[in-house]
Amino acid sequence: MEAFLGIDVGSVSTNLAVLDGQGRLLARQYLRTAGRPIAAVQEGMRALEAELGGAVAIAGVGTTGSARHLTGLLVGADVIKNEITAHAVAALHVEPGVRTVLEIGGQDSKIIILRDGMVIDFAMNTVCAAGTGSFLDQQAARLGVPIQEFGGLALAARHPVRIAGRCTVFAESDMIHKQQLGHSLEDIVAGLCEALVRNYLNNVGKGKEILPPVLFQGGVAANRGLVEAFARHLALPVTVPPHHDVMGAIGAALLARDLRRPGAPTAFKGWRVKDLEFKTTSFECQGCPNLCEVVQFRQEGRVLARWGSRCGKWEADSSGI
């Protein structure tokens, strides 16, 4: 069966999805990046090969996420696209009439505004941790609550407390203060969910016309407390897609399928990628006073690419390697 592979590598999670020619999901993997994107991608490839075996032939590969270019070199991608494009394509695949996409990941959060199937506006928060999934992860660890139980606790709250959520440091000190006053764990967890939603809407969503249908994507969408908080603040129904946590990878696979030229061979290196040795090194160029740090990406000891020089000297040199 002809299939398409999508890979989304971020700072917190690495997601892989394999779709057939009709866009149906055949297999998926959600892994923790743990600061080792290459190893995470290889682990995901190993799991997909074991699950699919020889049942599929990969006809196209798409990569997205903050490590999309590195991943593209690693696996041999046909399409490399940013997260906005990948998430928008996946959202339209699930809900063709979608007009607003809320996405919260571990590293950043984003909002995508669509009209008539086209992205007309977007915004990203890549600076403040208080609007991302890492914020909830940190607070869950501080409270001693498994992050998987966060949503259920939030829904059980009777009197959610108001927590200052504009900054992670202030949120932590405010949360400790509320604990010392004797507020219940459920009310504090609900207050944290409310704080994240307020932060998101006041920063990422500021000035945006949020219209239904609204899709909530990203790993954080598993938190039912956040889903309810968004629906309450927006006064709109908020839908969580079935595979919300791997929507970026699904979008990348769809792009690989849709942008494929008939009869064109794929650049995919094959499942053997999982067993190859990849290494990233760097050196300081002494060619001028800029002293650029040049990064080298190697496969089995052979340099595949270099980047980082302002003048492009090393990038041009690597093209013939």
**pLDDT digits over 63-118, tens only?**
999 899 999 999 999 999 999 999 999 999 999 999 999 998 777 889 999 999 99
Cis preceding-peptide flag for 262 (omega within 30 of 0): no
Q: Greatest CA span in the chain, whole angstroms? A: 68
pLDDT at 247: 97
Residue with the larger pLDDT of the pair 53 and 131:
53
- Two tokens, residue 151: 């949503």
Same domain (yes/no): 146, 191:
yes
Model confidence at 195, in pLDDT bands (50, 70, 90)?
Answer: confident
The four Cα atoms 303, 306, 311, 313 give a dihedral, to 10 degrees, of: 10
Q: At what angle do helices 224-234 and 185-203 cross, to 10 degrees?
A: 50
Model confidence at 177, in pLDDT bands (50, 70, 90)?
Answer: confident
Q: Is-above-0.85 flag for pTM? A: yes
The four Cα atoms 208, 214, 218, 224 give a dihedral, to 10 degrees, of: 120
Same domain (yes/no): 173, 263:
no
Residue with the larger pLDDT of the pair 16 and 140:
16
| Nearest CA among 312, 309, 266, 238 for reference residue 76 | 266
Q: Which residues constitute the domain of residue 128? A: 96-240
What is the number of structural domains in the chain? 3
- Two tokens, residue 201: 């809407």
pLDDT at 119: 97
pLDDT digits (tens, 9 = 90+) for 2-26: 999 999 998 889 999 999 999 999 9
pLDDT at 316: 57
In this predicted structure, the answer to whether residue 28 has a pLDDT above a threshold of 50 is yes
Q: How many of the other CB atoms lie within 10 Å of CB of 101?
A: 27
CATH number of 20's domain: 3.30.420.40
Residue with the larger pLDDT of the pair 126 and 159:
159
Is residue 110 within 8 Å of residue 123, measured between CB atoms?
yes
The residue among 192, 215, 240 that closes a domain is 240
Same domain (yes/no): 222, 285:
no
Beta bridge partners of residue 57, listed in sequence order: 2
Same domain (yes/no): 26, 71:
yes
Same domain (yes/no): 189, 266:
no
Same domain (yes/no): 100, 236:
yes
Could you identify the residue written with the tokens 């999309």? Answer: 68
Report the run of H or E that residue 53 belongs to, with start and end.
none
pLDDT at 54: 82
pLDDT at 196: 86
* Average pLDDT rounded to a whole number, residues 121-147: 77
Is residue 133 within 8 Å of residue 148, measured between CB atoms?
no
Of all residues in the chain, the percent with pLDDT exceeding 70 is 94
pLDDT at 128: 63
In this predicted structure, the answer to whether residue 130 has a pLDDT above a threshold of 80 is no
Same domain (yes/no): 60, 77:
yes
pLDDT at 5: 98
Same domain (yes/no): 224, 158:
yes
Direct distance between the N- and C-terminal alpha carbons of the chain, in angstroms, rounded to an integer? 34
Q: How many of the other CB atoms lie within 10 Å of CB of 314?
A: 20
* Average pLDDT rounded to a whole number, residues 255-267: 92
User: Nearest 5°: phi and psi at 162?
Assistant: -95, 120
In this predicted structure, the answer to whether residue 320 has a pLDDT above a threshold of 50 is no
| Nearest CA among 48, 34, 96 for reference residue 249 | 48
Q: Half-sphere exposure (CA, 13 Å, Cβ side) for 232?
A: 13
pLDDT at 8: 97
pLDDT at 321: 38
Specify the DSSP class assigned to residue 238. E
Model confidence at 262, in pLDDT bands (50, 70, 90)?
Answer: confident
Residue type, 237: P
